[in-house]
A and B are shown apart, each in its own frame.
Chain A
Amino acid sequence: DAMVIQNPRYQVTQFGKPVTLSCSQTLNHNVMYWYQQKSSQAPKLLFHYYDKDFNNEADTPDNFQSRRPNTSFCFLDIRSPGLGDAAMYLCATSRELGRAFRETQYFGPGTRLLVL
Chain B
Amino acid sequence: SQQGEEDPQALSIQEGENATMNCSYKTSINNLQWYRQNSGRGLVHLILIRSNEREKHSGRLRVTLDTSKKSSSLLITASRAADTASYFCATAALGNQFYFGTGTSLTVIP
Q: Are B42 and A109 in contact (CB-based, < 8 A)?
A: yes
Is the contact region of chain A dominated by helix, strand, or loop, or is it mixed? loop
Q: Are B98 and A104 in contact (CB-based, < 8 A)?
A: no
Q: Are A90 and B42 in contact (CB-based, < 8 A)?
A: yes
Residues of A within 8 A of B41 (CB): 109-110
List A41-92 residues whose CB lies under 8 Å from chain B.
41-45, 55, 88, 90, 92
- Judged by a CB distance under 8 angstroms, whether B44 is at the interface is yes
- Judged by a CB distance under 8 angstroms, whether A17 is at the interface is no
Chain B interface category by residue count: 20 to 34
Q: Are A42 and B100 in contact (CB-based, < 8 A)?
A: yes
A4-B42, A43-B88, A55-B96 known; 19 new pairs, CB 8 Å cut-off, are: A42-B101, A42-B103, A44-B100, A45-B98, A45-B99, A90-B43, A92-B42, A99-B96, A100-B30, A101-B30, A101-B31, A102-B98, A103-B31, A104-B45, A105-B33, A106-B45, A107-B44, A110-B40, A110-B42
Closest to A101 in B: B30
Q: Total A-B residue pairs with C-beta atoms closer than 8 Å?
A: 62
Q: Top 6 closest A-B pairs, CB basis? A: A101-B30, A107-B42, A102-B92, A42-B100, A107-B43, A102-B98
List A20-51 residues whose CB lies under 8 Å from chain B.
40-45
Write the nearest CB–CB distance from B89 to chain A, whole angstroms.
10
